[in-house]
Structure 1
């Protein structure tokens, strides 16, 4: 494939680079890598040049790790700051390691502060200091200030480039300021109005400025009600505020209430996606779940979770061991007891997933915890009755033992109720203890439902005399 085989534009109707889902086609990726391998940097560059920075970032993610540096060398002039901003963290870190401090500093200087921080914050301390020393004083000061804030906080997320004007200015003053200052940022949706202490007191949308006579004071057209973001607020809470109040941008303030930056909705989209995926992966014990993550890190994360689950499984097995005599005398118990624990675990996981999401989105608070507990208790009873009816009928049809079917039904009802209760209580208790419920809840819930499932089924069977 050569450059003449490809169109000059990325028209979705006939593009040979992207498929219908805007993903790079395998044959296009292969063509680029073949050109790089053949030493034809010009051909590789011609293929890649029409792509959007986000698509170039995807190209690097789709390239095998051992060939990424060769690709970067072949299309070096196309791998700009915008491409690095769109890159997967692990892929970006791999490429950054191949650059010297001056190159990294140049890239970071072209980015918004939040994107520059994302590149620098994961570097080794010595490399980080070397890059900062290579930056211009103003850029270095902004990055160092951002790095002083906690990870995943508004201070790390915010941009320093914004437009702020005093309340006594007129609309004409603002327009002259916007047109006359070439150092102003070019990407903004609203103007912040501040008092003499640089504390935000209102906002003006650009549309208001453009449609208002020049002589009108800004204080007469600004909106005084605004959502302010504390600089140390967790990024997940920031995202919830943007979602709740339908924000496009918001002012970030320090401990003294002074305006220090702003956060825009394009940053929040990434945070919402990141946090949603993070909770799902944590429930499964899969760590970051990034396919570009180093194998050693993935193994370390997953095996730790599996070892914890192994311990929980051993605890469940010890309960079974208490009834080994009954199981030996009545072997049908062994056929049904895994069903009781498995259904309890599934029911608990359902409730747990709902509660973790409710906690993450602030739907579940101290004011409605009891109501949610009673709600899930009612749901669990209904589920238990349905499972008991179906299970008892099925076991009787297959095994023809009335007493066993009754015990099976009662055990499923008990475990269903237990699953519903612990699915609420465990994540709420962990959240109160400032422990992430997405990380720790699953092992507690599955252990409790397994133990209760075996204990209720085998205990009831013993009381019923099935093993006698």
Structure 2
């Protein structure tokens, strides 16, 4: 055997280079999120002019991950990233992208480019992109679209925002009721322009009214000579085109739907909504209610600072006004507080615990309204239930705070006063927490938007009034 160079690698120079090269950064962590190191690596390659290297990292990613990449990248780097990934920045990626980031990128494209991207998407996704554009830009994009796409998108834009008409897809499979299974299979094979992703076939009458549905599995397992009307399911959930998307989501959840037909006021089939769209709606509506209750606006970390400021400051000003109401109650008992400083120490406890109790009840009521659990038929029963919960909570907390104050301040009267005030405020908090959302909902207002402000004002004001009023009446400061 020949001598081996001690400095050489037994597998050769190529292997040496492979062993010496740094290991590639993992793209995903254990929670299937893009890692900071991977995002930084892509951006560094783009900024260094190594477009091919950046593309090599991005190419294996799913469109949803590419959308995440743009969202995680600093806003200053997104334009260069978009230019480098132009061939991957297609309609699928835009459909998965955060609205604010997508609008930022769309703003860099001309009307023809936006029209090309919109043409790659299902109608509902294309509408979501075009609907957020300025009116002049919107018209320019519509003019650049194919006539069929333009007509479908213009029709969708004519429906109210967050309605089934905006959410539905026009691409569906509808067949006449007199066809056989064999005719349907042949029709699907002979028409390459039909929808490619669908779970069921809609059966319509001569006026294009949906009269039944047939799952693909039934079509595949049924003899070809059987009429579709003999195997279709006649019971189906029809979605009115003007139905609010939140109500649509509730129907999908209640009836465990995969897809559902959308009908116009005349009952004609005009579109279909699928469960993948509903998943996004459920997430959006749940997040929207939580953010509205806190007055945080859209609550999106990609939202411009000025927009976040505008949406949040008005609620802070509203809270300021409600706080002034509570402070005016305190001012009525200024003399009482001056004679016993311990009252000033304890009264925030009464208001704070009452506020938390009201928030708990309000959250339960708002959720029940949003999910249709709380309706006119069970409103009274729900109010009674929340009053019972409030009484139990109030009695427990009142007993604890009463005993604690008695021991700490060596004053049984003060302990009884704060216990009675706590019991009163938690009862009022429970009552306000359920009555205010129900009342707002009855008058057509969104209970998630305004309830928190009024509940906070009620619990603060009544907490101070109950505690300081009882202290005055008891002669505690006399």
Is the TM-score greater than 0.5? yes
Deviations 1:347-392 (A, max 9, x none): 0000000000000000000000000000011111100100111000
Query: With structure 2 as the length reference, what TM-score do the two structures score?
Result: 0.95
Gaps of 5+ in 2: 1-17
Q: List aligned pairs for 1:230-249, cutoff 5 A.
A: 230-249=240-259
CA distance in 2, matches of 1:116, 1:79: 15
Pair 1:152 & 2:162 matched: yes
Select 2:358's aligned residue among 324, 342, 348: 348
Give the secondary-structure state (helix, strand or coil) at the position aligned to 2:271. Answer: strand
CA distance in 2, matches of 1:154, 1:293: 26
Select 2:34's aligned residue among 6, 24, 29: 24
Match of 2:127 in 1: 117
Match of 2:410 in 1: 400
CA distance in 2, matches of 1:187, 1:397: 71
CA distance in 2, matches of 1:346, 1:400: 28
Pair 1:333 & 2:343 matched: yes
Match of 1:227 in 2: 237
Select 2:421's aligned residue among 408, 411, 420: 411
Match of 2:388 in 1: 378
Q: Say which is worse superposed, 394-403 or 214-223, in terms of deviation.
A: 394-403
- Alpha-carbon offset, residue 16 of structure 1: 1.2
Select 1:437's aligned residue among 436, 447, 455: 447
Q: Which runs of 4+ in 1 moved over 3 A?
A: 4-7
Match of 2:298 in 1: 288
- Alpha-carbon offset, residue 6 of structure 1: 6.9
Gaps of 5+ in 1: 8-14
Pair 1:310 & 2:316 matched: no
Pair 1:390 & 2:404 matched: no
Deviations 1:311-347 (A, max 9, x none): 0001100000000000001111111111101111000
CA distance in 2, matches of 1:47, 1:373: 57
Q: List aligned pairs for 1:247-326, cutoff 5 A.
A: 247-326=257-336
Deviations 1:202-260 (A, max 9, x none): 00000000000011000000000000000000000000000000000000000000000
Deviations 1:186-209 (A, max 9, x none): 100000000000000000000000
CA distance in 1, matches of 2:279, 2:407: 53
Match of 2:195 in 1: 185
CA distance in 1, matches of 2:231, 2:43: 56
- Alpha-carbon offset, residue 397 of structure 1: 1.4
Distance 1:401 1:88, change over 3 A: same
Match of 2:205 in 1: 195
Select 2:83's aligned residue among 73, 76, 81: 73
Match of 1:51 in 2: 61
CA distance in 1, matches of 2:389, 2:33: 42
CA distance in 2, matches of 1:359, 1:96: 37
CA distance in 1, matches of 2:399, 2:461: 22
Give the secondary-structure state (helix, strand or coil) at the position aligned to 1:77. Answer: coil
Q: CA RMSD in A?
A: 1.1
Deviations 1:448-467 (A, max 9, x none): 11110000000000000112
Pair 1:459 & 2:466 matched: no
- Alpha-carbon offset, residue 5 of structure 1: 6.1
Deviations 1:51-97 (A, max 9, x none): 00000000000011111000000111111111001000000000000
Match of 1:88 in 2: 98
Pair 1:211 & 2:256 matched: no
Match of 2:172 in 1: 162
- Alpha-carbon offset, residue 136 of structure 1: 0.3
- Alpha-carbon offset, residue 124 of structure 1: 0.2
CA distance in 1, matches of 2:408, 2:311: 43
CA distance in 1, matches of 2:85, 2:392: 62
Q: Which has the larger radius of gyration?
A: 2
Match of 1:63 in 2: 73
Distance 1:6 1:432, change over 3 A: farther
CA distance in 2, matches of 1:315, 1:423: 18
Deviations 1:5-53 (A, max 9, x none): 677xxxxxxx811111111111111111111111111111111111000
Give the secondary-structure state (helix, strand or coil) at the position aligned to 2:45. Answer: helix
Give the secondary-structure state (helix, strand or coil) at the position aligned to 1:347. Answer: helix
